[in-house]
Structure 1
Amino acid sequence: MNQPTRIHRRTLLQAAIGLGASLSLPAVVNAQGDAARGPLKIIVPLPAGGAADATVRAIVQAYEKQTRQVAIVDNRPGGVFQIAMQGLLAAPPDGQTLIHLNTGMVAAQVVQKRFDLTRQLAPLTLAGETSFMVVAAPDSPFKTLKEMIEYGRANPGKLSFATPGPGSGEHLKIAQLEKAAGFTGLAVTYKGGPDMIKAVVGGEVSFAIIPPVLAMQFAPKGQVKVLATLDGARVTPQFPDAPTMAELGIPMAPTRFWGGFAAHADTPAPIVQRLSQDLGAAVVAPSVVERMATMGLTMQASKPEEFRKVILGDVAWMTEAAKGLKFE
């Protein structure tokens, strides 16, 4: 990964000074969005080894192969995504430092109100999506989502559910389900998806929403009941019998959890367009698509404005879902 910076021959000034000095100068941008290119740094606001990290590293490999440019993954977890955001905002807005976004960051924006993804950042492209399933404990007293809702209505507060934390995307989605279906549950916090599904399997909580890749590890053995999908269509071929919310008559817009890339909001438009195209091509590279399919991710690139609309759409429903909730 430690390769020398590519230097355009025509840029005599940059050829005469070292990399450290050149990074302190404003980027020189031409009409095609070309700039002095050092290694591209992508900040990931989550720990190494997780699904987001694996996705970004697969995309980076394709990006390097396609563009012949070096890219570095910089994991900066913690601070409810603020450490990563601060790292991006402190870097020059030259397109050399990017950040990997996820649905959870929208939830943090809505609940914490310490950053604004569409005002402080320039969205570049989506980089993967996944459905989420409603799964219940194997010994739960209900077999369908309708029965679960009826149980929740009849037993306020007794229907417990797992989340990765108060105000997380999963928490807000279940809050939306509670309001749409008319029941009240009890949120229980776990470290992440693996711990959440184990809690459901062990009967510690009544249900959770998790991605299909986790459900597939337990549902075939009868360790969880798959009750429904939050997607707009049934998840096939894995869970063809799990109905959508629309099919159940529950007034909730379809939801997919996603990842994507963004730059500093002050990044020049030509660079934003070039990065969107280059990263978008890497996102849908066959090697990436095949590898991420094993993790239950659908790789989908987008134009900057399309990605911005996705973020704003999530801000809207999460803001509504968060009304009346108290977060410690």
Structure 2
Amino acid sequence: MTSLFAGAVQAQDAYPSKPIRIVIGYAPGGSVDMVGRVVGDILARQLNATVVVENVPGAAGVVGAQRVVSAKPDGYTLLAGSSNEMAGTKFVNAAQKYDPAVDLTPVSLTAQAPNLWVAGAHVPVKTVDDFVKLAKANPGKYSYGSPGIGSTPHFSGELIKKTAGVYLVHIPYKGSPAMTSDLGGGNLDFAILSPTAAAPLAQSGKIRILGATTATRIATLKEVPALAEHPALKGYALSGWFALAAPKGLPPEVLTKLQKAIQTGLADPAIRQKLEAAGTPPAKGNESLAQVMRTDMDKYAELVKFARITGDN
């Protein structure tokens, strides 16, 4: 599926002089798609360009990312991706042929994907402290779900286990709908959900929100403590993110233009409000995306060893 964002394109030799294609490795309608289309709109406006958004779903974003990696590094094929295919999947997908730290040019962090640690209503916990005590007293009795092996929620759950010194059984699902159904129905004990996914379940009394996976409290959910506030989870922080990247070898002058466009666009109050309302707090655009990728990849590498994660578990 493709869509078009058009600015008043002028004939010019300088970049951009032809349409820019943004590849999104997921189907239309999800959070990566939504943020990617906001990015497309920003580039169309700030660069006075035509931007075509192309959805290439498959393998948690890897199929789309590979297409960008294989493209000419001229700034006309870009990846609007996430922490999955730009950091996590490298460690669990044997079929992945690219290394995001080597084969992509990091452009800009665009938004955050904060998550919540939640419990099914059937589990006798109301706070993070309740959870830690229950899990420590009952190793292996309780389960937590993720939308797939190698997903950010999967790694986030394993980091909870590693940091707090507890053992929960991981149950991977093929996507979030089945997971949230089991959680709400009492067949799954814990899970990591986005604020937007958690809200209706919490309002209906099917789950309890225990804490945020972010380093500090989420701005729109100040009443929910960060997991790191609990002594057993001190230093805990692992959330998803969204970013713009290009193939390896992008010319520096093109990189600078793209980064300036993203920073200017993300400073727009209307853009920031749109991303906030969708549960994806905007970045500033001037963060070091390369450092963000390295930091998370280091965490993922440790967690793969800790949990003995393979493509099958």
Give the TM-score taking structure 2 as reference length: 0.88
SS of the residue aligned with 2:68? helix
Q: CA deviation at 1:78?
A: 0.8
SS of match in other structure, 2:101: helix
Could you tell me how far 1:35 is from its partner in structure 2? 3.0
* Equivalenced residues, count: 302
Aligned to 2:42: 62
What is residue 172 of structure 2 aligned with on the other side?
A: 189
What residue is the counterpart of 2:158 in the other structure?
A: 175
- 2:91 is matched with 110
Alignment-mate amino acid for residue 310 of structure 1 = V
1:217-243 per-residue CA deviation (whole Å, 9 max, x = no partner) reads 222332211111112222345351x32
Conservation of the 8 A alpha-carbon contact between 2:24 and 2:80 = yes
Q: Label 1:239 to 1:215 Cα distance change in 2 as closer, same or farther (>3 A).
A: farther
Aligned Cα RMSD in Å?
2.2
1:131 to 97, 111, 114: 114
Contact conserved, 1:292 with 1:299, CA < 8 A, in 2? yes
| Matched residue SS, 1:60 | helix
The range that moved more, 64-73 or 94-103, is 64-73
The residue aligned with 2:27 is 47
CA contact 2:24–2:61 (8 Å) conserved in 1? no
1:314 matched to 2:296? The reply is: yes
2:133 to 129, 147, 150: 150
Equivalent residue of 1:135, what SS?
Answer: strand
Quick check: 2:146–2:154 contact (8 Å CA) kept in 1? yes
Unaligned residue ranges in structure 1 (runs of 5+): 12-33
Q: Match of 1:15? A: none
Mark the CA change 1:61 to 1:236 in structure 2 (over 3 Å): closer, same or farther. Answer: closer
**Structure 1 residue 296, shift from structure 2 partner:** 1.1
CA–CA separation in structure 1 for the residues paired with 2:27 and 2:266: 21
Larger Rg: 1
Q: Residue in 2 aligned with 1:7?
A: 11
Counterpart AA for 2:80: H
Supply the AA of the counterpart residue of 1:307: L
Give the superposition deviation at 1:117. Answer: 1.2
Give unpaired runs (5+ residues) of structure 2: none
Identity of paired residues, percent?
24
- The secondary structure found in structure 2 opposite 1:146 is helix
Q: Secondary structure at the match of 2:38?
A: helix
Moved over 6 A (4+): 2-5
- Look up the equivalent residue of 2:246 and give its one-letter code: A
CA positional deviation for 1:142: 2.1
1:228 and 2:232 are equivalent in the alignment? no
2:47 maps to a residue whose letter is T
79-88 or 95-104, which moves further after superposition?
A: 79-88
In structure 1, the residue corresponding to 2:197 is in which secondary structure?
helix
The code of the aligned residue for 2:30 comes to: G
1:130-171 per-position Cα deviation (integer Å, ceiling 9, x unaligned): 321111001212222222233223333221111011222211
